[in-house]
Amino acid sequence: MSVTRLTPQREFDIVLIVNGAARRLTVDARTTLLDALRDRLHLAGTKKGCDLGHCGACTVLVQGRRINACLTLAVAHQGEPITTIEGLADGADGLHALQAAFIEHDGFQCGYCTPGQIVSAVGLIAEGRAGSDDEIREHMSGNLCRCGAYPNILAAIRQAAREAA
């Protein structure tokens, strides 16, 4: 049986589509999507918390679905549309509805988890999983807040989900 041979490489010239713009960069095979966004493209809104997929601070949307940017390699996402916290704002006042709701409900204390919370909530609402408080709590379980701002995070998401409905 003859099959195409693979030639694994350690370095790649790639194009990432981030917040609608094609960004060209050279990455080591090991570079996580999170490190590519933060350290190479200087989009530091996406946070690095645990770097092991446990905290959700690094949540971004890839092809519209929320994922942990720390648990995936940048080289694996060439050509796929990626949305970070910096790319969410679409409103006339310069804020996404969830960003405005987090401010209105004081959905944070230190703010470190907030970009991940907001991007994750965008994914949650798109999934149709924001139907009740219990459902929001369950399906936001991938985002931890060490300040314990959960009641206000919940209130912000509840309001944004109602507005989106």
Which stretches of the chain bind other proteins, using CB under 8 A? Answer: 1, 3-10, 12, 28-30, 32, 51-53, 56, 59, 65-68, 70-73, 75-76, 120, 123-124, 127, 129, 137-142
Nearest distance, CB of residue 117 and other proteins, angstroms: 12
Closer CB to other proteins, 52 or 92, in the complex:
52
Tell me the CA distances in angstroms from 133 to 23, 30, 124, 154, 157, one per residue in order.
38, 39, 12, 7, 9
What are 25-31's contacts with CB under 8 Å, separation 24+? Answer: 27/74, 27/75, 29/73, 29/75, 30/73, 31/73, 31/74, 31/75
Closer CB to other proteins, 95 or 144, in the complex:
144
Nearest distance, CB of residue 59 and other proteins, angstroms: 6
Contact 114, 136 (CB under 8 A): no
How far is 127 from 37, CA to CA, in rounded Å?
24
104 HSE (CA, 13 A, CB side): 14
Q: What is the dihedral of CA 21, 24, 29, 34, to 10 degrees?
A: -40
Closer CB to other proteins, 86 or 135, in the complex:
135
Nearest distance, CB of residue 77 and other proteins, angstroms: 10
Closer CB to other proteins, 103 or 130, in the complex:
130
Nearest distance, CB of residue 30 and other proteins, angstroms: 5
Nearest distance, CB of residue 126 and other proteins, angstroms: 11
Closer CB to other proteins, 64 or 91, in the complex:
64
